[in-house]
Structure 1
Amino acid sequence: MRKTALVLAGLAVAVAACGNAPTNTPAQSGSSAPATDAAAKPLAGVKVEIAAKWTSDEEKNFRQVLAAFSEKTGAEVTYASTGEDTGAYLGPRIKGGSPPDVAVLPQPGLVQQYAGENALKPLNDAVIKQIDENYTPYWKELGSSGGKAYGVLVKAAHKSLVWYRTAAFEEAGVQPPTNWDELVKAAQTIADSGTAPFSFCGASGWTLTDLFENVYLSSAGPENYDKLSKHEIPWTDASVGTALEKMAQIMGKKEFVLDGNSGALQTQFPDCVTKVYDQKKAAMIIEADFVAASVGQSGEKVGEGAKTFAFPKVGDTQPVVLGGDVAVALKDSPGAMALLEFLASKEGGEIWAKLPGYLSPNKNVSPDNYPDPLTKQLGQTIVSAGDAVRYDMSDLAPSAFGGTDGKGEWKVLQDFLRNPADVKGAQTKLEDEAKKAWK
């Protein structure tokens, strides 16, 4: 049974979310791992295909992890990008009998769905041994269904952050806000200085669900968050209206949104990051720690020209929303379980942790591996977070509602960005979509 009411006090780790046309190309071997005699490599000549959502800088970093696996084992790994909608990419391949060996699922809800369709292969003893050594039981449960372990949590996301361009704040004379009213006031001051406060990636609907979840968790509180995540209260509830009204305060002012609302709806992730740090057109992006992977390409340095502040409190709760990506096997192939074992290992996690835009869900990966003080701090924030921490609501929902491009919650919140004045209309549409997904 999917667990949506998440009380994560005392967790030592945490776990997100997100291309266009799929690509399918080999991951080139690099120098991340020591060379070994080819005859000693156990998977020499074995081909492994892995599909994941990552593109751009996140894909480049993940390819370095795959290259280390290839160097160690001799396996030839091919990477395929699923694009925004992982389910839409994998569904036809599963039905056609030609799935990739391994897939990285951005929503735990897909683990439940595919396990129910008998599309996943249970993890073998070697992979489970790595999970038991390196993860807390909670994360093992997230990758399980019907008492069987199917998934490895390979990447974490801290989604309760606002990234800002230091120079834009200094030019406007504003300080990082600590509550929502201060955020709106700072945004107005930045707009008056001639810079758009916010860069939204509205074409990537999941970014809008992240914003809603933070506002809702803070304004409605953890108990209502848990109820809404299971559709135990309707989306027409007054608490949802309050959250949407707060969002409208920053979406509804023309001078607040870079390129206007229509332009924001044509901006994919991570292009919104580029517009802040490379093109220097806006001051802030509301999104997770993995923004760091794109910041580095702009010439700005994380922790200096690019900084973060905690998502401002809207109500009584300081929100901490977490997300994560789950790697699963869809084939009984020689390389599938070996790759999952590597991704679940301390070795695999430490290779990835040295690269920007990554947080490890592996409790044995030392924070000293992170490339900058900010990333290390984010990992520590997750460790010290209290009872109000919650898992990404849309990722736990049925995929038809919370994880499908152009449908469900993604589509309704995109429509809301187009017309932030229509709070009641958005609530009605959200409830209609939820009823269909949970029936």
Structure 2
Amino acid sequence: MRSISGTIRTPWAVTTFTGLLAGAMALSLTACGGGDNDKSSGDSSASATTGTVTLPKLNGQSIEVAAVWTGAEQTNFKKVLAEFEKRTGAKVTFVPAQDPIINFLGSKIAGGQPPDVAMLPQPGAIKQAVDKGWAKPVGAEAEAQLKKNYSQGWQDIGKVDGKQYGVYYKAANKSLVWYNAKVFENAGAKEPKTWQELLTTAQAVYDSGVTPFSVGGADGWTLTDWFENVYLSQAGPEKYDQLAQHKIKWTDPSVKQALTTLAQIWGKKGYVAGGADGALQTEYPASVTQVFTGGDQPKAGMVYEGDFAQVNIGETKAKVGSDAKVFAFPSVGSTAPVVSGGDAAVVLKDSKAAQALVTFLASPDAATIQAKLGGYLSPNKNVPTSAYPNEVQRTIAKSLIASGDDFRFDMSDQAPQAFGGTPGKGEWKDLQDFLKNPTDVAGTQAKLEKDAAAAYGSGS
């Protein structure tokens, strides 16, 4: 059975971690450095053996790494690259990319200046890079690290036609709702476990004088994440897999049910900060920070997004675990959803230095450095949970590793990028239109199906 992404071939069960989050809000988000004890001698020996992975000496060699990461996420990743430089003697340059990264890479390749390694945020993008002849398989050293440190499921989503092209350096749990603790306290609101309880909680927040939800609608991917959580819980894993592979149409009754459910929040007057127009002008980072600025009178009381929201919360004065708390996305059907995402390192220029970098990124050494800095989650099972800087993050990391292969990958990331990963097009645009007019369920379904059929048919 071939999936649209070309990487996911087996149906995986969904798991929850609601219980694991209980009582995990005790500590604040603090940043601390990594790699302090790793000293590279800088001599001319054949390899550098500091840490758990052996790396070649690469004095005088230079490589470029492209990613769409910005802000603290980019800053922290550069610290990982600096450690690679220290151990190998290579020079690594970070190249800021724009979404969709496949288009960015296409322009770089057409100009004869491709980066050596790219961090691709979708399995579908890895498949496209392979189909276009851009991506190169990872070497034996990186494969050995993957087999040692990753579950089979995380290895498989980096494969195309049985060959390993992607090293998933970063993971995400995209089934979390973060909230302003003081707002909930003032409203007498409780952490919900079901969708109905979420609506009750939202009404309590609204009645206290605070808008319940912040939505980063200017970034269409946040809206696909909302949909995926509702759909996975309500329709179930089997339907989720079918829709992800376009084996059922977006005009299916299950999609109508999920959109109708979403409209209970998106279409409720006063429930979304700034209304639909305001949300569509709010980019993701601001959707998080505006929940945790303004004391107990912020622009909104809660925001849905993944564990990586901690990076943005850290830009405010709020402390994770006291001022900023989190609960698992409530169950809409019989089981609460867990949707995962991630970013994979893919080699575009098959050099010794590029292969050494992806080998390093597949090791616990690299991930442990960034784990200590906060706002990051690794699928690497040999990263010690003690590396994560707060109890919330440690709990999320434990749940990810404990799930093994039992997870569902972000649906839009499995789709051809023209449908699931391009600003102003496909699913992103169609759900932005739906946020603006949540009464038009049938029209939204028709647009989603038209765009999906075109993208899946062309594979672009």
TM-score (norm: length of structure 1): 0.92
2:171·2:379 contact (CA, 8 Å) conserved in 1? Answer: yes
Task: Please name the residue that 1:276 is paired with.
Answer: 291
1:37 to 32, 38, 41: 41
Q: Which amino acid aligns with 1:62?
A: F
**1:102 has 2:117 as partner:** yes
The answer as to whether partners of 1:32 and 1:67 remain within 8 angstroms in 2 is no
Partner deviation per Cα, 1:361-408 (whole Å, 9 max, x = no partner): 111111111111111111222344599731111111111111111111
**Alpha-carbon spacing, 1:366–1:34, altered in 2? closer, same or farther (3 Å):** closer
Deviations 1:248-271 (A, max 9, x none): 111112311111211111111211
Instruction: Give the number of aligned pairs.
Output: 422
Q: 1:81 to 1:101 in 2, by over 3 A?
A: same
- 3-state DSSP of counterpart to 2:284: coil
Q: CA deviation at 1:47?
A: 1.4
The C-alpha deviation readout for 1:340-375, integer Å capped at 9, x for no partner, is 111111111111111211111111111111111111
Name the CA shift for 1:38/1:385 in 2 (closer, same or farther; >3 Å). Answer: closer
Question: Which whole-Å CA distance do the structure 1 matches of 2:244 and 2:392 have between them?
Answer: 30
Confirm whether residue 337 of structure 1 aligns to residue 342 of structure 2: no
Bigger mean CA offset, 86-95 vs 157-166: 86-95
Partner of 1:19: none
Q: Report how far residue 5 of structure 1 moved.
A: 5.1
The residue matched to 2:240 in structure 1 has which SS?
helix
CA distance in 1, matches of 2:210, 2:405: 37
Q: Describe the SS at the equivalent of 1:235.
A: coil
Q: Map Cα deviations across residues 111-162 of structure 1 (whole Å, 9 max, x no partner).
A: 1111111111111111111111111222222111122211101001001111
- Checking the alignment, whether the CA contact within 8 Å between 1:51 and 1:103 is kept in structure 2 is yes
Q: Which residue number corresponds to residue 81 of structure 1?
A: 96
Counterpart secondary structure, 1:255: coil
The answer (yes or no) to whether the contact 1:201–1:271 under 8 Å persists in 2 is yes
Q: Does the 8 Å CA contact 1:10/1:384 hold for their aligned counterparts? A: no
Contact 1:4 1:396 in 2 (8 A): no
Return closer, same or farther for 1:183/1:9 CA change in 2, 3 Å cut-off. closer
Report the AA paired with residue 7 of structure 1: W
Which runs of no fewer than 5 residues in structure 1 stay unpaired? Answer: 12-28
**CA-CA distance at 1:45 after TM superposition:** 2.4
Per-residue CA deviation, residues 207-234 of structure 1 (Å, 9 max, x unaligned), is 1111000000111111111111111111
Distance 2:64 2:95 in 1: 7
1:50 aligns with 2:65: yes
Query: What TM-score, normalized to structure 2?
Result: 0.88
Q: 2:453 aligns with which of 426, 435, 439?
A: 435
* Within-5 A mapping of 1:38-437: 38-40=42-44, 42-279=57-294, 280-385=298-403, 389-437=407-455
Q: Distance in 1 between matches of 2:113 and 2:456?
A: 29
* 2:260 alignment partner, SS class: helix
Contact 1:204 1:269 in 2 (8 A): yes
Equivalent residue in structure 2 for 1:7, among 12, 18, 27? 12
Aligned equivalents of 1:409, 1:108: Cα separation in 2: 16
Deviates more, 1:199-208 or 1:34-43: 34-43
Q: How far apart, CA to CA, are the structure 1 residues paired with 2:306 and 2:11? A: 19
> Which amino acid letter does the alignment assign opposite residue 42 of structure 2?
A
Cα distance 1:386–1:30, how it changes in 2: closer, same or farther (>3 A)?
A: closer
Change (3 A) 1:315 1:402: same
Tell whether the 8 Å contact from 1:203 to 1:266 is kept in structure 2 after alignment: yes
Deviation of 1:9 (Å): 7.0
Tell me the distance in 1 between the aligned counterparts of 2:279 and 2:338: 25
- Over 3 Å counting, the alpha-carbon distance change for 1:4 and 1:307 in structure 2 is farther
- Deviation (angstroms), 1:32: 4.3
The two structures, once aligned, show a CA RMSD in angstroms of 2.0
Where structure 2 has 5 or more consecutive residues not aligned to the other structure, the ranges are: 17-32, 49-56
